[in-house]
Chains A and B, each alone.
Chain A
Amino acid sequence: AQTVTQSQPEMSVQEAETVTLSCTYDTSESDYYLFWYKQPPSRQMILVIRQEAYKQQNATENRFSVNFQKAAKSFSLKISDSQLGDAAMYFCAYRSAFNAGGTSYGKLTFGQGTILTVHP
């Protein structure tokens, strides 16, 4: 079974500065998706960025970028030029790219989350 670990329960950053959130995962699969989701107090999970494991190039979306280290099974999120609206709980998540058999097909496996506070 896959596991996702976020070792930072809380992080804080000053507005306009850069912060990195850590995520490690464990899997025996070679092809999969990794995601960072943001969950503000409004509760809705919003996709921040996604990475396909077969792509070596790190994904970027505007101020958000990842450092994907497949061999190390590490997937960190960097937020540049932090804004007050970035404050939220951030979840790292894993999804198999194919039906691995059994009954867990299609599921997202989430980490425990990191609460990000942005100070003005």
Chain B
Amino acid sequence: ETGVTQSPTHLIKTRGQQVTLRCSSQSGHNTVSWYQQALGQGPQFIFQYYREEENGRGNFPPRFSGLQFPNYSSELNVNALELDDSALYLCASSLGAGELRYTGELFFGEGSRLTVL
């Protein structure tokens, strides 16, 4: 069983630039969610995708956007980067809530560390 993988692991951008982070979900999972984790803090929910549709969003501005592909992998895009966007971005996958083996558990990747200068 392949776990959740994210790329890149580290990246540095400058203010105003755009970034794309990628995530491959765990085998068999059709739901992907993204979290932002500032240093020393708990992760904050950005949004969730289920079967290629966004079906949940946290308090993040529209410059945070995403995609989910037919193979359930996902991208997080952030436009017009700000210094406060510096954080660890975590991707998590799970089964959908209606799935037979749904347990509510999220399976996380190792994250992408974004630094905005």
A residues adjacent to B (C-beta < 8 A): 4, 33, 35, 37, 42-47, 50, 52, 91, 93, 95, 97-99, 103-113
Contacts and interface: CB of A to CB of B under 8 A. Distances in A.
B-side binding surface: helix, strand, loop or mixed? Answer: strand
A107 B105 contact: no
Task: Find the residue from B42, B50, B97 having the highest chain A CB count within 10 A.
Answer: B42
Contacts, number: 74
Interface in B58-85: 58
A64 B58 CA distance: 31
Contacts of B48: 105-107
B45 A104 contact: yes
B15 interface: no
B56 A45 contact: no
A22 B108 CA distance: 23
Contacts of A42: 110
Contacts of B92: 45, 108
